[in-house]
Amino acid sequence: MSRVTSRDIPDKLVIEPMREGDIPQVLEIEREAFSAAWSEGAYRRELRWNRLARYLVLKEKPDVAQVSGAGDVPRNGGLGARLFSFLKRNPPATTSNNLVRGYTGQWLMVDESHLLTIALHHELRRRGLGEALLIAAIDQAVEAGARIMTLEVRVSNLAAQAMYEKFGFWRVGLRPKYYTDNDEDAVIMTSDILASASFQSRLQRLKEESQKKVGVLWSR
């Protein structure tokens, strides 16, 4: 996986459903982000068998110019014909050519979404990309008819709690010693009714700000 070195927001970011081919890159982020990381098998089972599960990845698309054979564009014919012929010989990058920069997952249960995970590549944090992923997850929950979104977060994870609070989530309780790696308590947080006017107007404002800031495309 190529290193992210710039403090800038990468170009050509897209959010799309996670596929099995993404799992190795997801695990790299997972192992850095969480002290109790999920295994490859757990992700495979989720993607293959869990009908309640919805996982999204934030990907950086490589430049067409970086795809192999890009220098070999025919010189005759119109631009469209040349592009068509080029793409035919050099199909667009498959999922494995794209760089996974973050991911999120939820279970959609009857009328409730349970946000299971969200993580960003550590060198890309604090640029609004976690927020872009959360927006996509909320949109997905709303489209599936979820009434509310709930989640657990470590008591010590103030960064994530601040992000959820920005979206209007509030604390509804504690699960003592929920995290078995260090017996840490979990804060249970829940959203307002997702379809409510107050939640939607806040979401709309955050979406507009996010579009201006990071301009991530969500391809459903």
Ligand X SMILES: CC(C)(COP(=O)(O)OP(=O)(O)OC[C@H]1O[C@@H](n2cnc3c(N)ncnc32)[C@H](O)[C@@H]1OP(=O)(O)O)[C@@H](O)C(=O)NCCC(=O)NCCS
> Known catalytic residues?
152, 164
User: To the nearest whole angstrom, how small is the minimum distance from the Cβ of residue 34 to ligand X?
Assistant: 6
Q: Is 4 in the site for ligand X (CB under 6 A)?
A: no
* Residues 140-199 close enough to bind ligand X by CB under 6 A: 153, 157, 159-160, 162-163, 166
Tokens read off for 98: 């794209």
Q: Where are the alpha helices (DSSP H) in the chain?
A: 23-33, 40-49, 79-89, 129-143, 158-166, 197-213
DSSP 8-class letter at 34: -
**Closer CB to ligand X, 79 or 127, in the complex:** 127
User: To the nearest whole angstrom, how small is the minimum distance from the Cβ of residue 167 to ligand X?
Assistant: 9
Query: Which position among 82, 125, 147, 207 is part of the footprint of ligand X (CB under 6 A)?
Result: 125
Site of tokens 């103030």: 158
Residue nearest to ligand X (CB): 130
Q: Is 212 in the site for ligand X (CB under 6 A)?
A: no
Which residues lie across from 60 on neighbouring strands? 13, 99
Q: Is 120 in the site for ligand X (CB under 6 A)?
A: yes
Which residues lie across from 189 on neighbouring strands? 151, 171
Q: Is 116 in the site for ligand X (CB under 6 A)?
A: no
Q: β-strands 148-154, 184-190: how paired?
A: antiparallel
Which residues lie across from 175 on neighbouring strands? 186
DSSP 8-class letter at 148: E
What type of residue is 182?
A: N
Query: Which position among 4, 27, 33, 53 is part of the footprint of ligand X (CB under 6 A)?
Result: 33
Q: Is 129 in the site for ligand X (CB under 6 A)?
A: yes
**Closer CB to ligand X, 10 or 130, in the complex:** 130
What type of residue is 176?
A: P
Q: What is the biggest distance separating any 2 CA atoms in the chain, rounded to whole angstroms?
A: 69
Q: Is 126 in the site for ligand X (CB under 6 A)?
A: yes
Q: Is 130 in the site for ligand X (CB under 6 A)?
A: yes
Catalog residues that contact ligand X under the rule CB under 6 A.
33, 118-120, 125-131, 153, 157, 159-160, 162-163, 166
